[in-house]
Amino acid sequence: MSNKTKVCVPLAEKTPAEALLSAQNYIEKGADILELRMDYIKNPDKEMIRKLIADIDFPIIATNRLQDEGGFFAGSEQERIDLLLAAASETEYVDIELQTKSELLSQVVESSNCSIISFHDFHKTPSLEELSQVVRQAKEVGDIAKFAVMPQKIEDTLTVLSVLANNPQTIGISMGDLGKYTRVTSSLFGAPITFASGAAATAPGQLDIETTKYIMGQLAANK
């Protein structure tokens, strides 16, 4: 993977037609990769997902987020995993939560071209030791570790950057207004991917595509 941090924009639409239109718009605005949030789509099925991925024809992260990690998928856990498996071979990355049952997690990782093992805490920022342990566990399972946590104070955002500084192939985000700057400064620490919003943000503190790319370009130029 390139050392350049890719800007990923989530597709959070309810229908494939809306997702395709948004994908074309975000690509024109400069997205490097798109995240297909299958949990936002109304009544998704495997054939629908495969066709949508083919129609978009652009690098994609396939995600079907658990409800207790900020997602909206209403089906069973097996149905959630089946959709990820259907998308796995068709996409560049699959994002799956670290807390997923181990045998299901292994199935998805083994089927993926590249796996992102994610962890979310929308209430707090775990300690440096705890976050570092999360990253270690994620990398024992998959290719890239990802965590997104909520800061209560500015020092929490520095914890996130400290973890990134010491762990390559890690996506780390401090959410909300307080942590907004980490979405662009993570590029200075070699994060493979960061996330920006296309229309409505899918996580607290996301900046839009143009702003994200502009600031990252300025940071790279002055590095």
**Is 123 among the residues known to form the active site?**
no
Cβ(118)–Cβ(95) below 8 Å: yes
**Is 120 among the residues known to form the active site?**
yes
Cβ(130)–Cβ(159) below 8 Å: no
Task: Report the sign of the C-alpha dihedral through residues 85, 91, 207, 161, in that order.
Answer: positive
| CA separation for the pair 79, 77 (Å, rounded) | 5
Cβ(14)–Cβ(44) below 8 Å: no
| CA separation for the pair 87, 50 (Å, rounded) | 6
A 10 A CB-CB count for 47 gives 9
| CA separation for the pair 214, 157 (Å, rounded) | 21
Give the β-pairing of 6-11 and 193-195: parallel
Q: Considering 120, 123, 213, 223, which one is annotated as catalytic?
A: 120
Q: Considering 6, 29, 101, 146, which one is annotated as catalytic?
A: 146
A 10 A CB-CB count for 212 gives 24
The catalytic residue positions are 120, 146
